[in-house]
Amino acid sequence: MLKTAMCCSALAIMCAGAAQAEPLQVALVETLSGSQASTGLLYRTAAQYGIAKINAAGGFRGEPIKFVEYDSQGGPVGAADRVKAAIADGARVILQGSSSSVAGQISEDVRKYNLRNKGKEVLYLNLGGEALELTGEKCHFHVIRTSPNAAIRFQTLTKGMKELGLMGDKVYSINQNYSWGVDVQSIIKANAETVGYTVVGETLHEVNKIQDFSPYVAQIQQSGADTVLTGNWSNDLLLLMKAAADAKLKVRFGTSFLDQPGNIGNAGSVAEGNVMSAPFNPELNDATKAFAEDYKAKTGHYPAYVEPYAVFGMDMFAAALKSLDDATGPVSANEIVLALENTKIETPVGSLSIRAEDHQAEMPMIIQEVSKEAAFKVDGTEYGFKPLKVYTGADSADPVQATCKMKRPG
Partner 1 sequence: MEQIVFALLNGVIYGLLLFMVSAGLTLIFGMMGVLNFAHASFYMVGAYLAYTLQPVTGFWLAIILAPLLVAGLGIFVERFVLRRVHAYGHAHELLVTFGLSVVIAEVIKMFYGNFPVDYSVPSDLNFSAFALGGMEYPFYRLFMGGVAVVMFAVLYLMLTRTRVGIVVRAAIYRPRMVEALGHNVPMVFMAIFGIGAFLAGLAGAIAGAFYTTNPNMALELGVVVFVVVVVGGLGSMEGAMLASIIIGVMNSLAVGVNVSLADVLARVGLGDWARETGGILTLQLSSLAATLPFFLMLLVLLVRPSGLLGEKE
In the complex, the residues that contact partner 1 under the rule CB under 8 A are 35, 37-38, 41, 177, 203-206, 208-212, 214-216, 218-219, 221-222, 235, 238-239, 242, 246-248, 260-263, 265-266, 268, 379-381
Q: Which is nearer to partner 1, 308 or 348 (CB)?
A: 308
C-beta closer to partner 1: residue 158 or 235:
235
Rounded to a whole number of angstroms, the minimum distance from the CB of residue 170 to partner 1 is: 15
| Side chain identity, residue 217 | V
Q: Which is nearer to partner 1, 186 or 351 (CB)?
A: 186
Please state the closest distance from residue 271 (CB atom) to partner 1, in A.
12
Question: Distance between CA atoms of 316 and 50, rounded to whole angstroms?
Answer: 10
Backbone φ, ψ for residue 82 (5° rounding):
-70, -35
Closest CA to 370 of 287, 290, 252, 289: 252
Q: Check residue 225 and give left, alpha or beta (phi > 0: left; psi -120 to 50: alpha).
A: beta
Reference 212, options 178, 182, 246; nearest CA is 246
Measured from the CB atom, is 219 or 351 closer to partner 1?
219
State residue 346 phi and psi, 5-degree precision: -100, 105
Nearer to partner 1, 117 or 222 (CB): 222
Nearest approach, Cβ of residue 32 and partner 1 (Å) = 11
Task: Tell the smallest beta-carbon distance from residue 211 to partner 1 (Å).
Answer: 6
- In DSSP notation, 379-400 reads TTSS-EEEEEEEE-HHHHPPPP
> Considering beta carbons, is residue 304 or 316 the nearer one to partner 1?
304
CB of 304 to partner 1, least distance (A): 10
Q: Count, in order, helices (H) and strands (E) of the chain.
A: 13, 15
Smallest separation (angstroms) from partner 1 to the CB of 313: 22
Are the C-beta atoms of residues 189 and 132 closer than 8 Å to each other?
no
